[in-house]
Structure 1
C-alpha cells in the first residue's frame, strides 16, 4: 500500500513539475521531480522498514526536506536563453570584402543585435501598425523593437478601456490573430502597448492536444478519494491497526464523511475558478486533485488546482476569476465547519500537544474559529477548554486554512490576483512583499504560520499581467476585494485576550 501511494504521488508530482516549471529551465524534468520526491521516498522507506505506525524522527525528515527544497530552488532557477543563430539573410548582407575577426584582432567588436526583433514587422507592416493608433485615442510616438516583442509608446488620450478595445480591433484587422495586444502601465503612469506573437498560432501550441483531460481528472479524483478516506478513517478510529481493518473492512466507510466533505470544499473552490474562467473565454483545465500518502501528509491530499491556458483579458476578469474560488469554497466550508463543530466534543487542553492538534484544538487561535465555535457549542466551551474536532469539522477547518492560504496577497495565489486587479501589477507586488514580512512576523505569535512564512518567501510576488492591465475596477469589486482580505485577517489572527475572556466566560453577563 505504501508503494502504491508513493507511485500515485510521484505521478501527480511529475505532472505538476512538467507543466509548471519545465518550460522555464533547462534542467531535466526527471531531475527536478527526483529532488522533490526525496522527502516522500525517505518517509516511504522509513514506513517500509519500521511500519507506517512509527513516525520518522525530525532529524531524518527535516534535513531531507530542507535539502530537497534548496536543491529544487537551485535547479529550477530560470536559465538565460542563448541568442538565436543569425539568419542566412542577415549573413548575406555583410560586405564580401569585410575582414573576419581572426584577420583583424584589434578591431572593436560591435554590440550584438536584438535577436529576431526586426523579423516581427517589415517596413510596410510598421506603417500599417502606425495606422492602428488613432491620434485622438493613443498618440503613437515611438516603436521599440525588443526580442520577440514590439513596444509602442505614446500618449493616452482617451479612457483606457476604449483605447485598448479600439487599438486591439485595429491590430486584429491589420494582422489577424498574429499578435496578442498587451496594455500595461509604465513609469510615471504612462501606459504603453506591447505586441507579443500569439502562442495559440504557433505549431508547437497546436500540437499540445486538448486543454482538459477528463480521464486524468477522474483518475486523480478517485485516487484522492482513496487517500482522504484513509485519512478520515485515521481521524475517526485513532487506534486503528491493519489487523483490525482486515477483520472489519466495513470500518473504511467511517472515513467517507471527512473525505467527501474535504473534496467538496476543494472541488467547489476550483470549479468557481473554472466556470468564471469559461465565462471570460479563458481556456482552463478541469480541476485536478493531488493525492498524497497519509504516511507523508496525514490529511490525504495537497489540494486541487486548475491550469489556465490562455491570457486573462483584463483586470476585471482577473479579479473575478481570482475571487470566485475562495467565495465558492467558503459557501461550502462554513456550513461544513459549523455542522462539524456541533458534533465535536469539548475537552481539556493538554499542557503539550504533539502532531496535528485536531483532538484538542484551541479555538482562540483564530478569530473566525472562535466565533463559529462559540455559536456551535455554546456555554460548554470556556476559556480553558479545547475542541476534539469531528472528522467533518477537521475537513471544514482544513478548508478554512486553504482559503486563508489562497487569499494571501502574493503572486499567483488568489489573493495575489485580487490585489493585482485592485491596485495594479506593480503595487500588487509591493503588497506581496509586505504581506510576506507580516506573515513572518506573525509566525512569532502563531508558530504554525512559520511553515507558511517559509513557503511564501520562496514564491514570486509578481503576478502575470492581464492583456488590458490598465483599466481599473469598479467600486463594488474594490469593496468585495477588501472584504476578502478582511476574511483573511479574521482567519489568521488569534483572538485578543480581552475579547476571549468576554466571549468564553464561564458565566457570561446576560
Structure 2
C-alpha cells in the first residue's frame, strides 16, 4: 500500500480510498500516478476526487493503465497533473494575433474615414478611434470570460483575436480557450455570462461616445440596420442613428457598439459551446439539448423567411449561423463535473440576460 503522503505532496490515498483502491503511487515528471481500480463509475469517481485534487493543485483524469488479462483484472491510473491558472511566460501567439488585428482594423478603419492605408499609410493612424472601439468591445467581452475563469480557478487562455483585412470591421472577433474542467454549474454559469454582460457595458459606452461624433460619408454603399438596444441609446442621448442624406452614415466609432450588439446576440444563442449554451446548460441541466436542437431550425427558418418574403434584403448570415448552430448542437454543451442545481439569483440573472440579448437582435443586419 502506498504511503499516506504521496510524492509531490498530492492528496493521501486514504482520502479517496472509498472510491478508488490504490495499489501503487508513482511519479512521471511532474505528474502523479495513482495506480489501482475504481470502485464506482467513472463519473462518480470524478465528482468525488476532482475537488480534492484541485485543493492540492492538480487536475485529475482517469486512464487505462493495464488491460485485463489471464493474470487478473486490468488496472487504471488516476493521473494528477499540476494545475496552472493564468499566463505562463509570454503568450507570443496571442500578442501576434492582437497586433495583426490592430493592423487589419486600422486598414479597414482608414476606408471608413475616406482614406486608404495602402496608398497613404498615415490615414491608418487617423483610424485609431475605430480600432479602439472595435477591439475595446471585443476585448472587454473576452476579458469578462478570462477574469471569471481565474476567479473560479479554471485554466483559460488569453484572447486570440482573429484578424481579417476586409470591411466592414477588419476582424472576426476573438476567442479564449478553456483548458481546465468546469467544476460545477455555478462556475459554468458565471464564466458563460460574464462575457456578454461585460461586452454589453462596453457596447453602451462605445455607442454613446460614437453617437456624439460627426457622421462620415458611407464608403461602401450598404445600410446597417439597428437593433433595439442601439435605437434606445440614441433616443436616450438625443442623437441620430439614421441621416436624411443617404450618403451619410454614423461615425465609425459607433460600429464598435453595433458589432458588440450583434456579437452579443450571436453569443447568447442557447446552443453548444456558445456563451448562451453555457448559460442554459447551467440553468436547465441536461434539458439543454432540447433547447439547443431548436436553435438551428429557428435560424434556418429566419433565413428562409427573408429569402421568400424580402428578396431585396436577403442575407446569408442566418443560413451560415444555422449551419454552425447545427454543428454546435451535435457536439453538445459543456458538462460540469458537479451537476447540482443553480441558485435562484443566477437563474433570474440568466433570464434577464437573454431578454437583454433579444434587444441586440435585428432580422436583417445589413441591406444592400
TM-score of the alignment, normalized to the shorter chain, above 0.5: yes
Contact 1:211 1:309 in 2 (8 A): no
Q: CA deviation at 1:199?
A: 6.5
Instruction: From the two aligned structures, give the one with the greater strand fraction.
Output: 2
Q: How far did 1:172 drift?
A: 5.7
* 1:192-242 Cα distance to aligned partner (Å, 9 max, x none): xxx9944737xxx99xxx75643322222211111111111111116x484
> Tell me, which stretches of 5 or more residues in structure 2 are unaligned?
1-12, 22-37, 63-75, 307-313
Structure 1's 312 and 130: CA in aligned 2 closer, same or farther, altered over 3 A? closer
Match for residue 272 of structure 1?
A: 144
1:435: which partner in 2?
A: 295
Question: In structure 2, do the counterparts of structure 1 residues 337 and 172 end up closer, same or farther at CA, with 3 Å as the change threshold?
Answer: closer
1:389 to 2:250 alignment: yes
Query: 1:91 is matched with which residue?
Result: none
The one of 203, 211, 214 equivalent to 1:333 is 203
Alignment check: 8 A CA contact 1:212 1:286 kept: no
Q: Deviations over 1:320-340 (max 9, x none)?
A: 011111111111111211222
Max Rg structure: 1
| Corresponding residue to 2:261 among 373, 378, 400 | 400
CA distance in 1, matches of 2:269, 2:182: 20
Give 1:457 deviation, angstroms: 2.4
1:187-336 correspondence to structure 2 within 5 Å: 197-198=78-79, 200=81, 213-237=90-114, 240=116, 242-243=118-119, 245=120, 249-294=121-166, 298-336=168-206
Cα distance in 2 between the residues matched to 1:179 and 1:309 = 13
Residue 213 of structure 1 contacts residue 285 of structure 1 at CA under 8 Å; is this kept in 2? no
The structure-2 alpha-carbon separation of the partners of 1:233 and 1:199, relative to structure 1 and needing over 3 Å to count, comes to farther
SS of structure 2 residue aligned to 1:220: helix
1:1-400 matched pairs, under 5 angstroms: 128-130=17-19, 150=42, 152=44, 167-168=48-49, 179-180=60-61, 197-198=78-79, 200=81, 213-237=90-114, 240=116, 242-243=118-119, 245=120, 249-294=121-166, 298-343=168-213, 345=215, 357=222, 360-363=223-226, 366-377=227-238, 388-400=249-261
**Equivalenced residues, count:** 309
| SS in structure 2 of the partner of residue 492 of structure 1 | coil
* Higher RCO (C-alpha 8 Å, min separation 6): 2
Deviation at 1:387, TM superposition (A): 6.9
TM-score, length of structure 1 as denominator length: 0.52
Match of 1:452 in 2: 321
For 1:458 and 1:410, the matched residues in 2 are separated by 10
Note closer, same or farther for the CA distance 1:172–1:237 as it changes in structure 2 (3 Å cut).
closer
Tell me which residue corresponds to 1:501. none
Aligned-pair RMSD on alpha carbons?
A: 4.0
Contact 1:179 1:196 in 2 (8 A): no
Q: Unpaired runs of 5+ in structure 1?
A: 1-123, 133-141, 154-163, 182-194, 348-352, 496-510
1:345-392 deviations in whole A, cap 9, x for unaligned?
Answer: 499xxxxx99673xx3344xx222332333345589699989712110
Distance in 2 between residues matched to 1:224 and 1:419, nearest whole Å: 31
Relative distance call for 1:384 and 1:224 in structure 2 (3 A) is closer
Distance 1:212 1:270 in 2: 20
Q: Cα distance, 1:274 vs. partner?
A: 0.8
SS state at 1:290 partner: strand
Distance 1:355 1:143, change over 3 A: farther
Distance 1:491 1:170 in 2: 38
* SS of residue matched to 1:302: strand
Q: What secondary structure does 1:307 align onto? A: coil
Instruction: State the Cα deviation string for residues 291-327 of structure 1 (Å, max 9, x = none).
Output: 1222xx5421111111121101100000001111111
**Is the Cα–Cα contact under 8 Å of residues 271 and 325 in structure 1 kept in the other structure?**
yes
> SS of the residue aligned with 1:433?
helix
SS in 2 for 1:458: helix
